[in-house]
Structure 1
Amino acid sequence: MIRDLKQKDIDKVMETWLDSTIKAHNFMPEKYWQDNYNAVKDIYIPQSKTYVYEEGEEIKGFISILNDDFIGALFVSLNEQGKGIGSKLIEYANAKFNNLKLAVYKQNQRSVDFYIKKGFEILSEEINEDSGFEEYIMVYK
């Protein structure tokens, strides 16, 4: 089931974010993500519309949408990856929002391939101002 984020979900969502983002971005220093933890928790999550994928009482993934058109986060618990949860979250977001865009690090080829498979196209390539790494801006077609 996909539902709106509740306050009680924050710690699990952040655990999923940190574990999954470190694994997905193994080309970047782990400290970068640890240093950004509080900004994600205290600024980005509250500013976004976040939806969690839950089975029983267990949160297995989430997606956060900023400004009704930008996927700021899509993460699935490490032991739940490859089971279609990310696909379900993308489909849910595409049904609720129009013209979704996202940024994904160029070196995160697994995610780039996932988004292309889900109907996103590369719009442009930029350097992320904060991290200094190259990223693609992708849009849903």
Structure 2
Amino acid sequence: MKIHLPERPCISDYDDLTDLWEKSVRATHSFLREEDIIFFKSLIRNEYLFLVDLFGYKDKQGQWIAFMGISGNKLEMLFLLPSARGKGFGKCLIEYAVKTLGIDAVDVNEQNEQAVGFYLHLGFRIIGRDAVDNTGKPYPILHLQL
């Protein structure tokens, strides 16, 4: 399967990206409580999407199926629709981010074991750990670097 270069979402896409984020999180972040998902969803939509450079893929119908957010040399977010997982979109986004955008770092929830394994498989190594996330919630964060 040949995957093309990612597209750049715009502000008018942020509602769709937030919906994609929620579907992805519900499929991969079983450790989160419902109130946490609601809390983070608001931050994603109203703050975090504005703080990163966004890149992603759409399906043939023009719906977003995967996106990432980059800030400096760091991958700040990577989310895929559950139906898009395992098809190479995440790997292609990471390869683009590394080769074209120069990222070499990512933070990941320690409890999201599939994501941790994904990044380790792509060559990232754990260089640190925080016991809580950046909002002070009890979700340990692993710091990874290429």
What's the TM-score, normalizing by structure 1? Answer: 0.90
Unmatched 5+ stretches in structure 1: none
Tell me what 2:84 maps to.
Answer: 80
Deviations 1:51-99 (A, max 9, x none): 0112332221000012x12211101111111111110111111122324
Aligned mate of 1:48, from 38, 46, 52: 52
Off by >4 Å, runs of 4+ in structure 1? none
Measure, in 1, the Cα distance between the counterparts of 2:67 and 2:116: 18
Tell me what 1:138 maps to.
Answer: 144
Instruction: Give the alignment's Cα RMSD to 1 decimal.
Output: 1.4
Instruction: Report if the CA contact (8 A) 1:24-1:108 is conserved.
Output: yes
Q: How many residues align?
A: 139
CA apart distance, 1:108: 1.0
SS, match of residue 79 in structure 2: strand
Tell me what 2:104 maps to.
Answer: 100
Tell me what 2:117 maps to.
Answer: 113
More divergent stretch after superposition (115-124 vs 22-31): 22-31
Unmatched 5+ stretches in structure 2: none
Greater strand fraction, Structure 1 or Structure 2? 1
Measure, in 1, the Cα distance between the counterparts of 2:141 and 2:51: 22
